[in-house]
Structure 1
Amino acid sequence: MIDSYQYDITEYKAGGFGMKPVESIREVPLTIIINGREAVTLLCTGKYPEELAVGFLKSDAFLQSPEQVQDIVVEEDEERIVVRVEVCHDPWKDRVIERSITSGCGKGTNFGRNVATISRRRLDGDIRVRPERILELVNELHRRSTLYCRTRGCHNSSLCSADEMLLFREDIGRHNAIDMICGRCFLHNESVSDRMIVSTGRVASEILLKVVRMGVPIMVSTAVATRFSVELARKTGITLVGNVKDDSFWVYNDPGRILME
């Protein structure tokens, strides 16, 4: 799949103008239709459309179990992707559509309902990680970020154990990258109670909500967290780490999951 396009642009540098070839990351609308009704249109690179669609539906509470998914059909061309998901239950029953403007791509999420529901959840995953391993995993995340190095236009997220990186995804939004990971684990019925998410990008509340709904007990980001995210982390018990640098990071909330020797 083509994930970037090359253009000749004009660059101003050192007091003068010159021509320069650059790569721009692909951006395409992906519409998710569940049981014949449109759920959302996301903007993405077009990678892993099945994982992205299912991950979004899982994180937005359209799906609770992989057994509910009967069929997934992807229709794709250069300008648009449509993912049609058929499920065995009524995903729209008793559902109030209340879209909020969030800091991510797409139409937003059912924010109020998600916060009210997830704030009552406690994450008790049994995973312990050494501080130096967090730094090593972030370095590995940067090494794998080849699309970002070429385009400077994407975020990167990964699913990790306490010792190694297990799954890597990249997209124009960190929301999409995390939903891809969620979709992959959901479709394969993989437990994530002893895993952590390592990601680039600011930890806004909708990002933390996705990670909590997945059931991942540790969230690590190279960027900082918002106040709402910190409050949600402390209510749910998720370990939240941010502002990871070469030899340092901030721990916003940690119920004993980071081994402080």
Structure 2
Amino acid sequence: MQMTTRDAAHKYLIAPDPGAGMLTCAVTGQDQHGNLVEIDVVEERPLTIFLNGQEIVTAMTIGDYPEYLAVGFLANQGMLAVDENVTATDFDEELETIVIRTDKVTNYEAKLAKKTRTSGCAVGTVFGDMMEGLEGLELPQTEVRTSWLYALAATINTTPSLYLSAGAIHGTVLCHQDQPLVYMEDVGRHNAVDKIAGWMRTTGTDGGDKIMYTTGRLTSEMVIKCASMGIPVLVSRSGFTASGVTIARDLGLTIIGRMRGRRFTCLSGDARLIRDADPERVPEEGKKSRRKGAGE
């Protein structure tokens, strides 16, 4: 019996909640004929992240999972070492701030001394040297079956989400084989990735046997964050940047882009792929899946 989208969504550990009131608001306008219309649009709100007593950054976000976003951002920036324990996360919704407290002094001062503005659509920022901590990294040579990739795309692209209900948003999904586990959305693709990183760190989840699926471009930042999370495979509906491909090849990370329906392109790490599915037997995307170019 074929699994429905609703049944598939129930298998997520965390799934999108497009009905959550705080994430969208109704806005009225006029359509191409001048008729009055009302549509849901995604909310943006600031979140200022503190590490112990130091203000680090203010991010524009949709506002869900602030604890995962803050912990993941700090971890991906190298401001939280593996052996540093988070002792508290204090979120103040009214002040739009979150304080991450640790059990030892961190090295955020050195990181703040150098900033690199990234290509993130919500203006991402990477502190310190982007490749710091990745020297000598060896990602697991976990096999990836193309049947898993096709199954993941079919499930993820039809899962009820803010993208399908309102658009103007990116999604990132942590997956294991053909099963999507944690699906995060945000206005910036880097925010969605950081939420995944925060969940992984908080739950002690290892990335060595995981796949990260994203709707965003495969840029240098996305590749570096994926590698920093220990995930050996990065898949996207969107395209690549040259620096993203170069870094992926240097790190031995598999990147697969332009994955739509039965088609995809692998520009790094093809040795991990086991082509066990006939592309001609894979159905093309339906009208209710993500549309090319929209919101990406």
- Identity percentage over the alignment? 27
Mapped contact 1:68–1:88 kept (Cα < 8 A): yes
Aligned-pair CA distance for 1:132? 2.6
Of residues 98, 102, 105, the one that matches 2:118 is 102
In structure 2, the partner of 1:168 is 183
The secondary structure found in structure 2 opposite 1:89 is coil
Cα distance between partner residues in 1 of 2:64 and 2:274:
36
Counterpart code for 2:89: I
In structure 1, the partner of 2:294 is none
Quick one: structure 1 residues 123 and 223, their matched pair in 2 at CA, closer, same or farther if it must change by over 3 Å?
farther
Deviation >3 Å, runs of 4+? 93-96
The secondary structure found in structure 2 opposite 1:100 is strand
Q: Does 1:154 align with 2:169?
A: yes
Mapped contact 2:46–2:59 kept (Cα < 8 A): yes
Q: Does 1:180 align with 2:195?
A: yes
Of residues 45, 52, 77, the one that matches 1:35 is 52
Cα distance between partner residues in 2 of 1:259 and 1:3:
39
The secondary structure found in structure 2 opposite 1:109 is strand
For the aligned residue pairs, the C-alpha RMSD in angstroms reads: 1.7
Mapped contact 2:124–2:190 kept (Cα < 8 A): no
Cα distance between partner residues in 1 of 2:83 and 2:182:
19
Of residues 27, 41, 45, the one that matches 1:7 is 27
In structure 2, the partner of 1:252 is 267
TM-score (structure 1 length as normaliser): 0.91
TM-score (structure 2 length as normaliser): 0.81
In structure 1, the partner of 2:73 is 56
Mapped contact 1:237–1:255 kept (Cα < 8 A): no
Cα distance between partner residues in 2 of 1:61 and 1:33:
15
In structure 2, the partner of 1:194 is 209
Mapped contact 1:40–1:106 kept (Cα < 8 A): no
Mapped contact 1:53–1:183 kept (Cα < 8 A): yes
Q: Does 1:115 align with 2:131?
A: yes
Quick one: structure 1 residues 37 and 96, their matched pair in 2 at CA, closer, same or farther if it must change by over 3 Å?
closer
Q: Aligned residue pairs: how many?
A: 254
Q: Does 1:132 align with 2:147?
A: yes
The secondary structure found in structure 2 opposite 1:17 is coil
- 5+ residue gaps, structure 2, are 1-19, 277-296
Mapped contact 2:147–2:275 kept (Cα < 8 A): no
Cα distance between partner residues in 1 of 2:188 and 2:45:
12
Counterpart code for 2:118: T
- 1:127-163, Cα deviation, whole Å (9 max, x unpaired): 2121132122122111125211111111111111113
Mapped contact 1:99–1:107 kept (Cα < 8 A): no
| 57-66 or 47-56, larger mean C-alpha shift | 57-66
The secondary structure found in structure 1 opposite 2:126 is coil
Aligned-pair CA distance for 1:121? 3.8
